[in-house]
């Protein structure tokens, strides 16, 4: 699991660096021929990854200071995200891996007492972790395309 989290963290760091110079209007721009924008892709990747990381664990998904409903599967940007919302999404992207690693470390002792037959022994399947990175890569590539329009 650690290698997947490290790859996710590296990709998120790159994404945040490549988008740190954008204005709020640039984050919200939906160019002709596109259905979404940069900040929607960032928020969507965050929400889907968190659902994959937390869905079969005893941990609670973090509560964000923005409405996550607009970033779930099957959605598209309906309203512009303001400066504060952009900052919250960016910070949440930066914090995901660190927070999840802390939760894993905090429960390490308890996990070592779980038997191999216990369904919590493998918190997240390798298939889910591979999909998580694939999904993030897909949205990272979309953001790269959208950056050409700002």
Structural element, H or E, at residue 72: none
Residues 71 and 46: beta-carbon distance below 8 Å: yes
CA 124 to chain centroid:
16
To the question of pTM greater than 0.95 for the whole model, the response is no
CA distance 81 to 78: 9
- In the chain, what percentage of residues exceed pLDDT 70? 88
CA distance 25 to 149: 12
According to the model, what pLDDT value does residue 47 have?
95
Name which of 43, 42, 41, 34 is nearest 149 in CA terms: 34
- The domains found in the chain, sorted by start residue, are 2-147 (1.20.120)
Q: Is the pLDDT of residue 97 over 90?
A: no
**What is the mean pLDDT of the segment spanning 106-132?**
62
**What is the mean pLDDT of the segment spanning 89-97?**
94
Q: Is the pLDDT of residue 103 over 90?
A: no
Residues 74 and 114: beta-carbon distance below 8 Å: no
What's the Cα-to-Cα distance from 98 to each of 23, 59, 119, rounded to whole Å? 26, 14, 24
């Amino acid at each position: 699991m650690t290698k997947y989290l490290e790859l996710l963290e590296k990709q998120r760091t790159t994404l945040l660096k490549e988008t740190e110079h954008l204005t709020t209007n640039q984050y919200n721009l939906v160019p002709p021929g596109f259905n979404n924008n940069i900040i929607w892709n960032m928020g969507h990747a965050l929400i889907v990854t968190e659902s994959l990381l937390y869905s079969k664990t005893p941990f609670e998904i973090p509560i964000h200071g923005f409405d996550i409903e607009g970033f779930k599967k099957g959605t598209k940007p309906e309203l512009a995200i303001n400066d504060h919302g952009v900052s919250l999404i960016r910070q949440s992207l930066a914090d995901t891996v660190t927070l999840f690693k802390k939760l894993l470390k905090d429960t390490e002792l308890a996990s070592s007492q779980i038997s191999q037959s216990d369904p919590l022994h493998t918190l997240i399947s390798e298939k889910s972790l591979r999909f998580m990175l694939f999904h993030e890569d897909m949205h990272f590539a979309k953001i790269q395309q959208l950056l050409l329009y700002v």
